[in-house]
Amino acid sequence: MSIIIKDEKELFNYKWETKKCERIDGDCWCRAIFPKKKLMINYGNDELEEVYIIPSGCVDKDVAEYIVKLHNKELNNEKKR
Ligand SMILES: [Zn+2]
């Protein structure tokens, strides 16, 4: 099940999660960051593409988990307002 969004900014309205690297078997140093729900967008080439925040191979596990923690916490705070 996926959600189609019209604007990339909408991804800020959804919780995020870290994802293990799919290119390497076992535990890699990096983590990708994706929305928890599968978000799809059409960038204008008649094709739906999955929206991600940070692809694998860019940030290490600790940084990725920290970013996700901050974002999800902020999202919860916004909903409480
Ligand atoms: Zn990796």
What is residue 36's predicted lDDT score, i.e. its pLDDT?
A: 97
Domain ranges of the chain: 3-80
Q: What is the DSSP string of 15-74?
A: -EEEEE-SSSSS--SBEEEEESSEEEEE-SSS-EEE--SB-TTSSBHHHHHHHHHHHHHH
List CB-based neighbours of ion ligand 1 within 5 Å: 21, 28, 30, 56
What value does the mean pLDDT take over residues 18-26? 81
How far apart are the CA of 79 and the centre of ligand 1, in A? 33
User: pLDDT tens-digit profile of 30-67?
Assistant: 999 999 999 999 988 889 999 999 999 999 999 999 99
Considering the entire predicted model, what is its pTM? Answer: 0.88
How far apart are the CA of 33 and the centre of ligand 1, in A? 12
What is residue 48's predicted lDDT score, i.e. its pLDDT?
A: 94
User: pLDDT tens-digit profile of 3-14?
Assistant: 999 999 999 999
**22 pLDDT tier (thresholds 50, 70, 90):** confident
